[in-house]
Structure 1
């Protein structure tokens, strides 16, 4: 696994670039996911605009004039944060680079550098607009197309999605949250995709309504983008080893080098006893550890063992037992292989993205593409939950996970939405 890009470049290219230690692998792929989603969304909105399905909206925007008080304050805050944390990081590189997240969330930094950074950005803002002093700002009417709003949509999705994912994760893991709420809220780990999707959707739909963007065409355009972004985001989970993996595949245990070794079913119990301290930290009842043996079948012999089970050596959450011969911050490996569910979701969602991208031109009833996305995404997540580690609820004798409940509602809601759209909306035709 590659906790940050330093380890990735070192192992893949033989390059040791200490600065890359601050670039977390999971965060890197999340950023790529947003960029990929923005690219697909922009292109699909442009296509619908050319067909005449989406129209621009005329808005009056303020141009000219000197910088406002709000702009000076914003530049000052940004400059202070950059100087305080940026210079502080460079001056305390030896310790801060070992725990970048901890440093960012701490009160450590260089206060004087922060003041200097604030002063510099305020001066640059003043200098860039001083020629406009005495010139009043005026309003100009401009036409704004839906695709031009994608940057705003992506920023709102990132902020709302992060907050929603964090809130839903803590609701799902309430016992851990109440024990240490501050760490649970500020930690970079612990995100629930559906929580982020729900909160981001509410925020973006309100924005679209306010800006007079056709909601049905917007969500249809976003459907392939969401599927692709989810697949790319799961790459971050897989390559970083963020703990979002499956139950134990008891047909495999980890050897001294961190690699998978296929064993008989009885070896699983032996591995548990040999590493009983680790398993007791994970489960109160070690006699009922979630696991399912599945050895690589002969028909799939061309696939590597890590496709069926992974110990996630050097995982970013430092979960597992010490890895022999390893010195450093990330030297843990799971003693028994787990199902690499992020890898399965990457493959599934890339395929589903291809399906949505292929049918988007054939289905012209507004809203239907998004309904299909809800069904496909719900089915994918519902079935992957069968081999994932998650908190289960007790509802009338059933024991679903939060994701199973939401994914089931997505499938049902998607079917109902498709039926509603087909009944209420006629296929759109090209008007330009």
Structure 2
């Protein structure tokens, strides 16, 4: 696993670049996911604009104004934060004894660098606006198309998605939140995808209504982008080893000397648990509470690597597991018994589902139906992956679903209802137009 890009470059290319330790692997893939989603969303919005389903609205702008006091102060504040924390990494962060997360949420930083960058950014804003200033500012009317608003949509999705993911995760793990609310809120781990999706959807749809978007065309445009972004985001989960993996595959153990997956008889699972009792007792009250299911690679699939069926996530970013022999540093843990690499499964499946949505998007003529298809595909995929994932389960009338199973079921139902309503409305409209 690659907790940050330093480990990726070292293991894959043989290059040791300490500076890359500041770039977390999970965050890197999340950034790529947003960029990819923005690209796909922009393409689709332009396509719907050409079809006349999405239209721009005129907005008045004033050209030639000098920089306002608020703009200068805002740039100075942002510059100070960048200098204090980002440049402070080079002057204050002890890479040998402190991880990046601890540094970011500490009071450490470089005041000098903060002041320099604050002055530079404030000065840049002042002089750049001064060059464009006119003796008499002019009010102009410009046509703003929906695809011009993609940067705003992406920023809102990122902020609202992060808040929603945190809220839903802490609701799902309420006991852990109560024990350490500050740590739970500030931790980089612990994000629930559906929480982010729901809150971001509410915020973006509210914004779109204000900007007079055709909501059905907008959500259809977003469907392929959401599926692709989710698949790329899961790459961050898998390659960093953020703990979002499946239950134990009791047909495989892990060689703690090399971190590699090795086969074992399912009956030997108990022995493996006893051998690593100190690790398992931290998480489970008794051995019979450990979630596991044995599934050995079929002989017909002998050409596939074992880690596709079970993986120990060596050097995972959350430092979970037992010590890897001969390893020194922060990230030297590996799971003693291999787990199902569910993020890897979701990457493969969701990339395939993205291609499905991309392939049918031009064939479906009824606005809103593509998004309904997305809801069904997303819900079905997540519902079944939950069968081999570890999540908090609720007790509802004798059933014990996870939060994701409940939401994914609602998504499937919602998708079916959306498709039925939009198809019915389209049929009614066609009859009236004849």
- TM class, shorter-chain normalised? over 0.9
Cα distance, 1:132–1:25 mapped onto 2, change above 3 Å: closer
SS of the residue 2:36 aligns to = helix
Q: Which moved more, 1:59-68 or 1:219-228?
A: 59-68
Match of 2:385 in 1: 384
Q: State the match for 2:331 in structure 1.
A: 330
Contact 1:53 1:428 in 2 (8 A): no
Alignment map for 1:176-195 (pairs within 5 Å): 176-195=176-195
2:74 maps to 1:74 = yes
Q: Is contact 2:93-2:103 (8 Å) kept?
A: no
Question: What is aligned with 1:309?
Answer: 310
Whether 1:412 aligns to 2:418 is no
- The 5-angstrom pairing of residues 8-407 of structure 1 reads 8-95=8-95, 98-131=98-131, 135-255=135-255, 256-407=257-408
Task: Give distance in 1, aligned partners of 2:145 and 2:329.
Answer: 51
SS at match of 1:425: helix
Deviation sequence 1:99-119 (CA, Å, 0-9, x none): 111111111112232223222
In structure 2, runs of 5+ residues without a counterpart are none
CA distance, structure 1, for counterparts of residue 380 and residue 322 of structure 2? 34
State how far apart, in whole Å, the 2-side matches of 1:132 and 1:47 are.
34
Shift of 1:376: 0.4
Q: Deviations over 1:214-251 (max 9, x none)?
A: 10000001001100000000000000000000000000
1:60 CA drift (Å) = 1.0
CA distance in 2, matches of 1:403, 1:136: 57
Structure 1 position 133, deviation (Å):
5.8
CA distance in 2, matches of 1:132, 1:272: 69
- Comparing 62-71 and 34-43, the one that deviates more: 62-71
CA distance in structure 2 between the aligned counterparts of 1:96 and 1:320, rounded to whole angstroms: 21
Q: What's the TM-score once normalised by structure 1's chain length?
A: 0.96
The farther-off stretch of 119-128 and 235-244 is: 119-128
Residue 165 of structure 1: CA displacement? 0.4
Structure 1, residues 169-190: CA drift from partner, whole Å, max 9, x if none?
1111111111111111011111
1:18-43 CA distances to partner (integer Å, 9 max, x unpaired)?
Answer: 11000000000000001111111111
CA RMSD after TM alignment: 1.6
Change (3 A) 1:51 1:211: same
Task: Give the direction of change, closer, same or farther, for the CA distance of 1:427–1:93 in structure 2 (3 Å limit).
Answer: farther
Taking structure 1 as reference, are residues 124 and 299 closer, same or farther at Cα in structure 2, changes over 3 Å only? same
Distance 1:178 1:125, change over 3 A: same
* Per-residue CA distance 1:94-147 (angstroms, 9 max, x = gap): 348841111111111122322232222212222222345673433211111111
Tell me if the contact between 2:64 and 2:133 (Cα under 8 Å) persists in the aligned partners.
no
Check the 8 A contact 1:321/1:333 in 2, yes or no: yes
Q: Distance in 1 between matches of 2:82 and 2:52?
A: 44
Between 95-104 and 28-37, report the one with greater CA deviation: 95-104
Q: Is the partner of 2:253 in helix, strand or coil? A: strand
SS in 1 for 2:217: helix
CA distance in 2, matches of 1:126, 1:348: 50
Q: Deviations over 1:139-177 (max 9, x none)?
A: 211111111111111111011101110111111111111
How far the C-alpha of 1:86 sits from its partner, in A, is: 2.7
Unmatched runs of 5 consecutive residues or more in structure 1 = none
Structure 1 CA distance for aligned equivalents of residues 20 and 98 of structure 2: 11
| C-alpha contact 1:66 1:135 (8 A) present in aligned 2 | no
Structure-2 change in CA distance of 1:49 and 1:96 (3 Å)? farther
Query: Is the 8 Å Cα contact of residues 377 and 412 (structure 2) preserved in structure 1?
Result: yes
* Structure-1 separation of matches of 2:136 and 2:96: 47
Query: 1:361-382 CA distances to partner (integer Å, 9 max, x unpaired)?
Result: 1101010000000000000000
Distance across 1 between alignment mates of 2:330 and 2:247: 25
Q: Is the 8 A contact 1:364 1:427 kept in 2?
A: no
